[in-house]
Chains A and B, each alone.
Chain A
Amino acid sequence: MKRALVLLFLLFSIALAQNITITYWQYEFRSKVEAINELIRRFEAQNPGIKVVHQTFPYDAFQQKVAAAIPAGQGPDVVNLYYGWAPTWVKAGYLVPLPDDWIQRLDRDFVAMAQAAKVGGKLYGVPTAVRSLALFYNKDLFRQAGIATPPKTWEEFIGIGQKLTVKQGGRFAQIGYGIAPDGQDHHLVREVLVRQFGGKPYSDDGKRVLYQNEAGLKALSFYTDWVRKHEIGVPGFFPGNNGYRDGFIAGRIAMIVDGSFAIGTIQQGARFNFGVAELPLERAGGRKANFGSFWMHGLTPLATGPKREAALKFLAFITSEETQRYWLEKVGELPASKNLIRDPKLSLHPIYGPFVLSLAYAKATPFVDEAAQRKVMVDAINRVLLQGMDPAQSLRIAAEEEQRILDQFWR
């Protein structure tokens, strides 16, 4: 009897040792949830003995859940996060660095912007997919106004915008450009316009703000003039979250700058023909710039011992080229691998193409405190648009505020 019990216990321990359960967390987005469920099924089939539990939370509650769960030891082993959150998460002890061979893999196989997954020289996550910005335009409105092609330069962009803006009394009925400082436009000013005008938003190590110069001032003045001088748009034209996108989908906004993540929503919603173009340039042949961003999968301090090995295996699986191909098909997000985006089928695609071409030169802002830094730029724009402040003064305030945030992080 006793011997049987010991045997049973041994068998049980072996079974336990072979059955490692790891937990994966992401926020709720239907196609992503379905994709991960399918990927887990495939992963478990290839790796008997590892079980992956997939848990999701509404986007608004996601960081809050992570903040509370990991210190309590109840959270994920592998977690999905926006790259810009990584520094704050690392500083607060929510992520652990990946082994060194992962750094080589990232440097070798992934698009340049994925470098933003490093904090202080260590790697804290790997993306499956990446995103960039492009110009969405309403082809039907363009045709009605006799405009054949999307704008190549900002000058053309303003001209088209003016043609397609309809103002009645003090109120707009249609606008040429869906201006949205708190949408994607703060990226547009910081990463696109500043660079196109010959500047650089930050020093190479990301520790110093560099946009407080002629290029930066030109970028902010130029952008805010779209509202103040050219009247091709007005902030808050459509209320609500992502009102600029809703207004475009409703056919009341002729052009918007949005990310590749918006393709699905716009495709589903728009009852007209729309086109996508690479962002306009300062002048024909001018410097190209784009803002790249991504969600990545990181490892938390809860993944220890055998769980860590299993988690790394899972991480490798969900960031493999095979998964990236599946992800593009299923979720519609651009692959993060250099190899895959070279595929001409992608770069010539009428909708994905402009985004894919932009990936080659897109840069991810080296955020250290994304929520705070985003606000700095949104406020810099709003001080000019809503309070009529001189752009130079507004830019100076922004540069000081943001430098303080950087200094506080790096001290």
Chain B
Amino acid sequence: MRLTLAQREALWAFVFLAVPLAFFLYFRILPAFQALWLSLYEWHADPAQRRFVGLEHYVRLLEDPLLRRALWNTLLYTLLGVPGQIVLGLIIALLLQRTPLGRDLFRAIYFAPYVTPAVAVAWVWSWMLSPHFGLVNELLALLGIPPQPFLQSPSQALPTVTWVVVWQNLGFQVVLFLAGLESIPRQYYEAARIDGAEGWKLFRHITWPLLNPVLVFSVVIGTIGYLQLFTQVVNLNFTDQGGPLNSTLTLALYIYQLAFLRFQLGYAAAVTVLLFALILLITLVQLRLLTRRVEV
């Protein structure tokens, strides 16, 4: 059998793709399905002694108050964090794009938190937010505002953690938007200016629609990130993880605690399946709602 050049090229492409694909299937896809299977069993170190419990763990999901709390918190994190980092990221990117001077320097400064280890970030912020020694409360005191408990308050802890995560992700968001802004052809703006458009109109009718692909990407990636939030939450309250009073508990942290601190791997797997379904659903909805074809 003789192959055409195109067929041969395609064949080679598949050969090269096969290695990462096999890796991906074995280390990503397969474990995902194993989790599904695991969630139907009572965990035991010896596979022969794993007892089939059917949907028992899924029934437990329905009546688990901690799970409900973790789910609610996770949604709150996402609803606060994703818009937060996108709005701030866009504002900073637009400002940076206008400053010809030192743009690279500022970009590096904004990006620095993103490459700082989350543990270090958590450590520094927990000191800055301390009610008794922290810089933030020092500043509030100058404004005549009484010291705030921030991370130690069951009502303030979640927004505070969200802020730290937003602060950390901001640099990445800024870089994404800067790249998006650079890719918008100058001519569109020039043409619009000739037609008399200025300021807000330029943004509303050119920048915003043409940033759509970056925006969709940011929303989807950001949402997935917040739905899997773990490291910052753990490190911002290390000895009472998810506390105070479960106010910062996330789904990912709850899964970790169930599986590795309480050895309930079967039930933990069921929560994992729930998280997987949630991420899949939300991502599909977002892709559908947000992606628009833009005609200029």
Contact = CB atoms under 8 A, between A and B. Distances in A.
Contacts, number: 93
A378 B243 CA distance: 10
Contacts of A242: 239
A181 B260 CA distance: 23
Nearest to A91: B263
A63 interface: yes
A89 interface: yes
Given A239-B127, A371-B262, A386-B152, A171 B244 contact: no
B238 A94 contact: no
A178 to B, nearest CB: 13
Contacts of B291: none
B132 A71 contact: no
B44 interface: yes
A182 B263 CA distance: 21
For the complex, would chain B's binding face be called helix, strand, loop or mixed by DSSP majority? loop
Interface stretch (B15-23, B45-53, B90-98, B278-286): B45-53
Contacts of B44: 92-93
Interface string B261-283: 11101000000000000000000
Given A92-B263, A378-B243, A234 B132 contact: yes
Contacts of A383: 245
B241 to A, nearest CB: 9
B261 A386 contact: no
With most chain A CB atoms within 10 A of its CB, the pick from B49, B238, B245, B261 is: B261
A372 B259 contact: no
A236 interface: yes
B45 A236 contact: no
B124 to A, nearest CB: 10
A386 B153 contact: yes
A383 B245 CA distance: 7
B168 interface: no
A236 B131 contact: yes
B84 interface: no
A375 B69 CA distance: 15
Interface string A282-295: 00000000000000
Contacts of B149: 236, 386
B259 A67 contact: yes
B88 to A, nearest CB: 25
Nearest to B246: A379
A240 B120 CA distance: 11
A182 B47 contact: no
A371 B239 contact: no
Contacts of A240: 123, 126-127, 238
A71 B245 contact: no
B263 A94 contact: yes
Given A93-B46, A371-B261, A239 B245 contact: no
B54 interface: no
Interface string A53-66: 00000000001100
B147 A371 contact: no
A268 interface: no
B257 interface: yes
A183 interface: yes
Contact of B244 (A89, A169, A369, A382): A382
A393 to B, nearest CB: 14
Interface string A364-380: 00000101100100110
B151 interface: yes
Interface of A: 63-64, 67, 70-71, 88-89, 91-94, 169-173, 180-183, 234-242, 301, 369, 371-372, 375, 378-379, 382-383, 386-387
Closest 5 CB pairs of A and B: A93-B45, A371-B261, A239-B126, A182-B240, A92-B263
Given A67-B259, A239-B126, A386-B245, 8 more contacts: A171-B137, A182-B239, A238-B130, A239-B129, A369-B262, A371-B261, A379-B246, A387-B245
